[in-house]
Structure 1
């Protein structure tokens, strides 16, 4: 199951709110200062939709990812099932 762990700080609230608006995505309660966003399908986030400036966008994976980052460009982050190299 693709997942991303996001630090529970105001800067990342746009990503968490976008995830909560998707019925196919699960958002955990805050644990140890992080929110976990996961889904049974790929996770896709659009930088402009979540309202991030590039500096925040490029640090949103700093809490960790489960799965493979299939795309991480200027505007799209896509995390899929699996692991790098396998």
Structure 2
């Protein structure tokens, strides 16, 4: 049986050593947290707008008389969803820069 000399003490079992991990992209952890918080705020704003549209369009149809309400719903819904999607995409891309 061969003997081996140990040159340093092994790390204690069950303990976690907290070290700042080096980010391969060079991002600061605080800036990453700020971006994530901004993205969350943006997502909540988009959800609020979508809920407003989901509630507002049926109320608009109910307020207008028969064919006019349905015409507004038919012609306004799709462009409105597209505008919200473009708005969300541009804000998301701006946050990622």
Alignment TM class, shorter chain as reference: under 0.3
More strand by share: 1
Larger RCO (CA within 8 A; separation ≥ 6):
1
TM-score normalised to structure 1 length? 0.24
More helix by share: 2
TM-score normalised to structure 2 length? 0.22
